[in-house]
Structure 1
Amino acid sequence: MEKRNNKYHLTLELKHYANGETEPAKSMEIDFSNHDEVFAIIERIREKDPFKDQEQATEFALGLKLFSEVMIKNRNNPLFEELKEAFPLFMKRLKSL
């Protein structure tokens, strides 16, 4: 039986180049799924505010959920070998904040 996942659509836009270039801004859209409700995770991390910055808390939560879901889906990929032990410890620490 296939596990049910939440489905998301993300739009990412580059609004301003750091080096001042005037090339047209770039954008991309992706669809992805996640076993967690990502907005709830973002809100919980924003409430904990581990960086004393709401925007960084949001960036961290979104990046973490995107990364961890790919890692879960590819758990046997050698790329993630070093993280198999460290990542669960990291997540426990984060949840204990």
Structure 2
Amino acid sequence: MTKKANRYKLRLELLELLKAEENTYKPIELEFGNHDNIFKIVERLKAKNQFKSEQDSVEFAIGLKLFSEVMLKNKDNELFKEFRPHFGELMKKIKSSE
């Protein structure tokens, strides 16, 4: 049996709140799949220097891949109907600059 996606684990932990309030949030840890090698995408974006910092490149790559995979899995969702063509154009622009 062939695998359908690369498997990843992500942990989100609140380090500091903008406003003074008690941090009662527990870290969120999730495992997810993605058909792309996200580490390779991060490295390519970092090498391009398209953003103000390498950190911005990493955040963009991870956010984009998480978002796009959810959108693919929910392609019939009305929420994405108007946005899908614009997202396709964005992906073409990103891929053409590689």
Shift of 1:2: 7.7
Aligned-partner Cα distance in 2 for 1:89–1:58: 21
Equivalence for 1:61: 61
Q: What is the identity percentage for the equivalent residue pairs of Structure 1 and Structure 2? A: 46
* Partner SS state of residue 23, structure 1: coil
Aligned CA distance change for structure 1 residues 9 and 37 (closer, same or farther; 3 Å): same
Aligned-partner Cα distance in 2 for 1:5–1:26: 28
The TM-score normalised by the length of structure 2 is 0.87
Aligned positions, number: 97
The TM-score normalised by the length of structure 1 is 0.88
Deviations for 1:9-51, whole angstroms, at most 9, x for unmatched residues? 1111101111133435631101110000111111111111211
Report the residue type matching 2:10 in the other structure: L
RMSD between superposed Cα atoms in Å: 1.8
Report the residue type matching 2:39 in the other structure: F
Shift of 1:3: 6.2
**Residue pair 1:15, 1:26 contacting (<8 A) in 2 also:** no
Shift of 1:78: 0.9
Give ranges in structure 1 of 5+ residues lacking alignment. none
Equivalence for 1:88: 88
Q: Which moved more, 1:18-27 or 1:46-55?
A: 18-27
Runs of 4+ deviating beyond 2 Å: 20-26
